[in-house]
Amino acid sequence: SDQALLLSCFTAMSIASGQYFLTQIHSELKMMRMNLDKILEFLYGDKKAELMAEISFVKYAYQNYNSIMSHEAQRTATIASIQKAKKVAMKDIEFYLADLVSTVTAKVQTDILETVEKATQIKDSLELSTQLYVMSELLEVFYSENYDDGFLRYIEEEATAYINKCDKRMLTSFSMLQQALTSHKDGIFKKTDKEVLENQTRKIGDIVDRLNTAESSSLRELLHSALAAPEKRTDYRIER
């Protein structure tokens, strides 16, 4: 009976530790913390419904972690759904990256302010999709409790490489848009509000700066610290 009690204590502490780390992770993902109505303001197109569905599910999996971990069948089903959410996130990231390139290259010569608005909307959708991808990766680790060194190393290397690739592709597109704003000249029949143009130029410049500096690495740092957390020593005191 003492052994069974001790085992149940360690199981409870493992789940509590997982919930603690997930809470810290979730607090850093500002896009994932938005309520659904706010998210609906910038999501668009065919990907809107599927992305909303996966975000709702991941929030459910995060908020009910303690309870689901105590029920093996539900836990197994949840892991499978988390893996599906990760695939949807990657598919949507690729869609939005392609749409960003198309928007910047095809529309920049017609209406520069419209292009900036659309590009900013795509950026928000991309950030949300990327955070969904990272949260899904981490939820799978904590739900499966697979803390094997090789597995954690693989997750971090693959996710970091993918985030780097996404950031570089975003930087290329927004750098092109920044150049277009800087060199913009009004047409004969269409005048652009200079104050609005200057504000939008600064806005895009800020995005380019963030992508160019260490600030854009916050998601990678979060991934690294979250995957390293289970390996840290934790001291417990059990009293009878």
Residues 133-176: tens digit of each pLDDT: 999 999 999 899 898 999 999 999 999 999 999 999 999 999 99
* Residue 48 scores a pLDDT above 80: yes
- The pLDDT-based confidence of 190 (bands split at 50, 70, 90) is low
Report percent pLDDT > 90 for the chain: 40
The two three-digit tokens of residue 194, written as one number = 């200079």
Q: What pLDDT, in 10s, does the model give residues 99-145?
A: 999 999 875 456 888 889 999 999 999 999 998 999 999 999 989 98
To the nearest 10°, the Cα dihedral for 59, 169, 121, 104? Answer: -160
- The pLDDT-based confidence of 75 (bands split at 50, 70, 90) is very high
